[in-house]
Structure 1
Amino acid sequence: MSTYVIILKEKKTAKELLLKFREAQTPILNCDLVEPLDNKSQNESSNSDTSEEVFANQSSFNNIKLFNPALSRKDRQKTLATWLIPFGFIAGLSFSQMTDLKTFTDMGFPHQLEKLLGGLVGMISGALGSFFSAGGISQEKIDDLRAIRKKSEEGLWLLIIELPIEIEPPWAILKETNSPEIITIGKE
């Protein structure tokens, strides 16, 4: 999927833009509207008419996984753990079975528990692997996040649109909005 961050001055413009996307039948996979970090802009925009149909999920900057590396790292860690912990258990159990080492028996554990303890050690290794391999993001992404955060601190609204990778955003509609900037985050 392709992710675009459209920087807008008003919440109303974001809703109008989404309505135009729907009229143009643009296939949007996910859409989030991020409030500005500037409190003054939030207070002014919160007085708008609430009877309007909401076209996007509205949330704060720090609650978006795309902008908060800690949230995305936790998700990656959970995903990795669901695979690495059981795999580690099976690998540890298999290794203990194949090698017939007496590591835990020499430590005073009963011989019957040798293979099970080998599996538990493998499971712990899988948990540690999921923890350490989930961290880290590229410097390019960090630079993009800083630029986007700066725009949000200036009181601008951020409209995050995820499109299928084969679909280009309707550039003609985007040019009509006089959006100050459109940032392409990446294609997965």
Structure 2
Amino acid sequence: MNYLIAVLPDKSKAEAAYSALTNDGLSPNQVDILGNGYKSADDYNLIDPNQQARKGAKRLLYWLIPFGFIAGYAFNYLTGIEIFALGDIGSHIIGGILGAASGVLGAYLVGGGVGLTVGSGDALPYRNRLNAGKYLIVVKGTEELTRRATGILRSFEPENIQGYAEPASA
């Protein structure tokens, strides 16, 4: 399946482009309008970068909290630093708790930051354009169909037009 996404500045151009595509023989289930009053980014499953960031941070928490505790405990055990007057075991446990807290911070910064910057792919620019009041025309179908739709959409002078090919499943 191939996809073609065009960004149009206003509702009238988006509706005119939709009409031109359907008048040229594309069925309404092959063409969608995303924007105010039409489908939203969530309806069309454009990935929310904040959701990806939370997922990445949560995934890292499972690894970094236990690892941080063990590393903090071991560091305190090896150095013999007395954090409070709690004795050896108490200081080791406090060191482990501080290590686990460092793991939480690392999961939040690294997992969340990476998920926010790279977890969304091209969805973030499209979401930003929708939030700015622009409209997206999405055409899905064969390569020949998207090539034909490209010619039609270019006549409406879109801000951006991009084609995608769905990867073949093995």
Instruction: Provide the TM-score with structure 1 as the length reference.
Output: 0.51
Letter of the 1:146 counterpart:
P
Partner-residue secondary structure (3-state), 2:5: strand
> Which residue in 2 is equivalent to 1:156?
136
Which of the pair is proportionally richer in helix?
Answer: 2
Cα distance change, pair 155–174 in 1 and its aligned pair in 2 (3 A): same
Distance 2:62 2:51 in 1: 17
Distance 2:46 2:163 in 1: 16
> Which residue in 2 is equivalent to 1:80?
60
Tell whether 2:34 aligns with 1:61. Answer: no
* Corresponding residue to 2:124 among 145, 148, 164: 145
Letter of the 1:130 counterpart:
A
Cα distance change, pair 5–115 in 1 and its aligned pair in 2 (3 A): farther
Given that 2:68 and 2:99 are in contact with CA atoms closer than 8 Å, whether structure 1 keeps it comes out as yes
Letter of the 1:97 counterpart:
Y
Tell whether 2:120 aligns with 1:122. Answer: no
Tell me the matched-pair count: 133
Given that 2:65 and 2:104 are in contact with CA atoms closer than 8 Å, whether structure 1 keeps it comes out as yes
Distance 1:76 1:65 in 2: 17
The runs of 5 or more residues in structure 1 that have no matched partner are: 18-32, 43-59, 162-168
Partner-residue secondary structure (3-state), 2:117: coil
Deviation at 1:147, TM superposition (A): 4.8
* Corresponding residue to 1:172 among 123, 144, 148: 144
The runs of 5 or more residues in structure 2 that have no matched partner are: 7-17, 20-25, 154-160
If you compute each CA radius of gyration, which structure gives the higher value, 1 or 2?
A: 2
> Which residue in 2 is equivalent to 1:6?
4
Partner-residue secondary structure (3-state), 2:4: strand
Deviations 1:77-128 (A, max 9, x none): 112212211111111111122222222xxx2324322212111110000001
Instruction: Provide the TM-score with structure 2 as the length reference.
Output: 0.56
What is the identity percentage for the equivalent residue pairs of Structure 1 and Structure 2?
A: 20
Cα distance change, pair 13–111 in 1 and its aligned pair in 2 (3 A): farther
Distance 1:157 1:71 in 2: 24
